[in-house]
Amino acid sequence: GAVVSQHPSRVICKSGTSVKIECRSLDFQATTMFWYRQFPKQSLMLMATSNEGSKATYEQGVEKDKFLINHASLTLSTLTVTSAHPEDSSFYICSARMEFEVDGYTFGSGTRLTVV
């Protein structure tokens, strides 16, 4: 089946630094990539939707200058948390949808970000 590889799985960084999270679709072309954030005991919150070769669409309340999303190819999308603060500590998950596959959502394994 379709696989999305997400790295790193865990990262601890100092406040003020930037962290890059990568999601790669291994055996399919991900025309659309969704980036979610999940705080403890809460549901998934969509941060942004990116389509290959175009700018990401951010959800209301998500700072696009803080959460930089790049979807330069059909197999790679990255999320960079810039100038991270402790309140950015969360579980970040990507999800890719295969073109023309209505139910073809595949999730990455998630990245646990801790900002100290």
Partner 1 sequence: GQNIDQPTEMTATEGAIVQINCTYQTSGFNGLFWYQQHAGEAPTFLSYNVLDGLEEKGRFSSFLSRSKGYSYLLLKELQMKDSASYLCAVMDSNYQLIWGAGTKLIIKP
Which residue, 77 or 95, has its beta carbon nearer to partner 1? 95
Strand 67-73 to 4-7 pairing: unpaired
Give me the residue label for tokens 């379709």: 2
Contacts with partner 1 by CB under 8 A lie at: 6, 34, 41-46, 49, 91, 93, 95, 97, 102-103, 105, 107-110, 112
Smallest separation, CB 16 to partner 1 (Å): 26
Strand order of the sheet with strand 67-73?
A: 4-7, 19-25, 76-81, 67-73
Smallest separation, CB 113 to partner 1 (Å): 13
